[in-house]
Amino acid sequence: MKYVWIFLTGIAGGLLGGMGMGGGTLLIPALTLFFGLDQSLSQAINLVAFIPMATGAIIVHAKNKLIKTEGLIPIAACALAVSVGASFLEQIVNGVLQKKIFGIFLCLLALYQFFTLQKGGNSTENAKFAKKKKPHGKRNCL
């Protein structure tokens, strides 16, 4: 029965990720808070779970020629190098402190997402909520 709930939690995380909202940022706390998993384990699960979906997405995006190369190599190379160190650092920090730091990170992300939505744009853009500028010189004078 536990596996059913974990599967459903994975679906929720994947759903948000598939909609471009960073599902991992909710999957990780869900696994830690609801299932009592170790923070490192929750993060590891999120990383591993992302790989098959991202691989499929990359194939589709590459076919549709959506991947651009400007800046890609230096960004990816540096990200790879730093991520190794950051992952090892996480292994050292771990535990309760890691959980609290992750909590702060979530709150900052929530604030960032909120202000981005207020401006009416970003990856989850909805045209209805975007502020539209009125065209000049088109006042209706009755």
- Residues between 123 and 142 that touch another protein (CB under 8 A): 123-126, 128-129
Distance (Å, rounded) from C-alpha 8 to C-alpha 4?
A: 6
Q: Does 97 bind another protein (CB under 8 A)?
A: no
Distance (Å, rounded) from C-alpha 39 to C-alpha 136?
A: 54
Q: Which SS3 state, helix, strand or coil, does residue 107 take?
A: helix
Distance (Å, rounded) from C-alpha 132 to C-alpha 125?
A: 13
The size of the interface with another protein (CB under 8 A), counted in residues, is 99
Distances from the Cα of 62 to the Cαs of 51, 57, 90, in angstroms? 16, 8, 32
In the complex, the smallest distance separating the C-beta of residue 74 from another protein, rounded to whole angstroms, is 4
Q: Pattern of binders to another protein over 63-82, x per CB under 8 A?
A: -x-xxx-xxx-xxxxxxxxx
Q: Pattern of binders to another protein over 24-43, x per CB under 8 A?
A: xxxxxxxxxx-x-xx-xxxx
Distance (Å, rounded) from C-alpha 9 to C-alpha 139?
A: 52
In the complex, the smallest distance separating the C-beta of residue 9 from another protein, rounded to whole angstroms, is 7
Q: Which residue lies nearer to another protein by CB, 40 or 141?
A: 40
Q: Does 19 bind another protein (CB under 8 A)?
A: yes
Amino acid at 85: G
Binder among 1, 57, 139, 142 for another protein (CB under 8 A): 57
Binder among 84, 135, 137, 142 for another protein (CB under 8 A): 84
- State phi, psi for 47 to the nearest 5 degrees: -60, -50
Q: Which residue lies nearer to another protein by CB, 85 or 139?
A: 85
